[in-house]
Structure 1
Amino acid sequence: MDAHILTQYGLDQNITMKEAIEAFVESLAFQKKSRETIRGYRLSLLDANRYFSERMNGPIRCRDITLHQHIQPYFTHLFQERKLQVASAKRYVSAMRSFFRFLEIQDVVGKDPTARLQLPRVRKTEREHLTQDEFYLFVSCIDIPIVRYIALVQALAGLRVSEAIQLTLDDVDFDGQCIRVRHGKGDKARTVPINEELMSALQDYLMHHRPATQSLLFFATKRTGTISIAYINLVLERATKQAGIDKHVTSHILRHSYASWLVKQNVNIVHIQKVLGHESVRTTSGYMHVYQDDLQEAISNVRFLPEKGVASDE
């Protein structure tokens, strides 16, 4: 976060949290953060402001917010009373920390009260994904064509659902065998290569399923021109039940599956990072599943001892 961008706001030291949130949101837009990030941060901070204000029985100034009196009790409230999972709290924590760094640069607070925020430890688990057999059974049960082809783009090219529904007709390059993601996470662009299977599927979609519309979106609908993420996940939930798959399959699970299949095919993790659009390879490493069959085969082929076996006492 650039200091020269933030110092332009000249916030009053007595500003309330609710007022400061709007200035912070404006700074995020200036930094070209994604709409999803801005909306998520704003909702998280407004939720915290409601909690603080209720405890104070009125508006609270940013300079009066402390870790032990306000922030730590708020997160305890989220976990114990609202049953928020620790893994789901990342947005709340990121929003709070970014907000107070903003206020620190603005000289509204002298010290960032979130610096020593402590959360319960969460045990890392593997990201859920579909096997390839599960996916092809699953996709055959998707009864809405546009959703079926979006699912294919996610599972065979690794796009986020927000990226898939924003694709335009020009973004899918059949000659170059690639998809151009112009507005990825953090508004970053990338080019994703696609294989013959996905190319054929997308050509089939254009020829037989895309409605006649003025919309330039690749995945366009006749009535509104666009399709919502909530509707996509609703259709995927229905397909999961019909396929009899005992997993919670959302649009993001399809992206996880793509990454997992690349790992299984021994694709270099740096290459996987590039096609997924991750800033850090550490994020990509979360997809490094250990496949039990592969592990069994690997261990079976390892010889730990000499041919004669374990030495006896004889």
Structure 2
Amino acid sequence: MIHYDYLECYLLAHITYSKQTIKAYRSDLRQMKKNFVEWSVKSLQTYFDQLIQQYKPTTVMRRYHALMALGNELVRVKRLKVNPMKQVRPIVHQHIQQREHHPLEESIQTIRQINHPTYRVFFELISQTGLRFMEARLLSIEDIQFAKSTLLVRHGKGRRLRTVPLGEKLAHKLQAFLGGRTAGLVFRSIRGQAINEQQARDILCKQSLATRGRPLHPHDLRVSFATYLYQSGNCKLLEIQRLLGHSSSRTTEGYILSQETKLQQVIDALSA
């Protein structure tokens, strides 16, 4: 079963994937190996045909996107000439998302009640720029252009660089937080390393439970940011796509949530 050892080492050494992503991708690789799946169109197509019959749509779609990303890596390092996943029939689940909506203004007010200054500024940055958790965690001071009120995102998915705007007050908070530091990670531990991933998530979740009675996760902030830009800021989908660093507008569309889920109310009225 070729390529498995390389991909395992690649994931263990990856610095921009979160721990949850790495854990999920490694699990996908183990399942692939367990089922003797080769990196060929025929083998992969048969594999996904079987998965569709056995697993929930969300699981199948997640695994599809995971193997697509890993196949792209094999092409990048020239272990494969082409990614066979690109010829596997796409997995489509036509489902109306009814995720809980977290209004951005409320989320920001919750964040501002976090006592720890590092995590408070960290999540303010995510909520007001739409950065991914790992993009913010690995942000360097050198990549913030205070004179232009912008920051450069170097650790985006797919090796895509992007520049995003900074709000004036947020820029001032960052400058005050840095306290004269001009190099290194923006958000660091006492030892100078990147902040602890799980501790950051736990602090946000606990503060939200204490303030609003429901959990708030880092990814919710990106979704709220996109929804706010679209509904309140009247921004175009393409503009939001570029700000979030998405390769496809279809991904961005999935981030736009309704202020209230009216579909369920309509269906309930029919069954009354």
Q: How does 1:147-166 map onto structure 2 within 5 Å?
A: 147-166=119-138
Report the Cα distance in structure 1 between the residues aligned to 2:104 and 2:69, rounded to whole angstroms: 39
Classify the secondary structure of the residue corresponding to 1:49: helix
Report the Cα distance in structure 2 between the residues aligned to 1:225 and 1:171, rounded to whole angstroms: 17
Q: Report the TM-score, using the length of structure 1 for normalisation.
A: 0.64
TM-superposed deviation, 1:62 = 3.5
Percent identical among aligned pairs is 24
Larger Rg: 1
Report the Cα distance in structure 1 between the residues aligned to 2:108 and 2:90, rounded to whole angstroms: 44
Q: Report the TM-score, using the length of structure 2 for normalisation.
A: 0.73
Report the Cα distance in structure 2 between the residues aligned to 1:279 and 1:63, rounded to whole angstroms: 24
Letter of the aligned partner of 1:20 in structure 2?
A: H
Aligned: 1:238 with 2:206 = yes
**What do the CA deviations read for 1:161-194 (whole angstroms, capped 9, x no partner)?**
1010111111111111011112211121111011
Change (3 A) 1:117 1:129: closer
Letter of the aligned partner of 2:57 in structure 1?
A: V
Classify the secondary structure of the residue corresponding to 2:152: strand
Change (3 A) 1:189 1:66: closer
Change (3 A) 1:168 1:49: same
Q: How does 1:199-218 map onto structure 2 within 5 Å?
A: 199-207=171-179, 216-218=184-186
Aligned: 1:131 with 2:103 = yes
1:90 is matched with: 61
Change (3 A) 1:61 1:91: closer
Letter of the aligned partner of 1:139 in structure 2?
A: I
**What do the CA deviations read for 1:128-168 (whole angstroms, capped 9, x no partner)?**
44214422331133232211111111111111110101111
Long gaps (5+) in structure 1:
1-15, 53-59, 80-84, 293-314
The number of residue pairs the alignment matches comes to: 247
- How large is the RMSD of aligned CA atoms in angstroms? 3.8
Long gaps (5+) in structure 2:
261-272
Classify the secondary structure of the residue corresponding to 2:253: helix
Q: How does 1:1-314 map onto structure 2 within 5 Å?
A: 16=1, 19-23=2-6, 35-36=16-17, 39=22, 40-50=24-34, 52=35, 60=36, 62=38, 72-74=49-51, 76-77=53-54, 79=55, 85-96=56-67, 115=88, 121=93, 123-126=95-98, 128-207=100-179, 216-246=184-214, 248-263=215-230, 264-291=232-259
Report the Cα distance in structure 1 between the residues aligned to 2:91 and 2:222, rounded to whole angstroms: 31
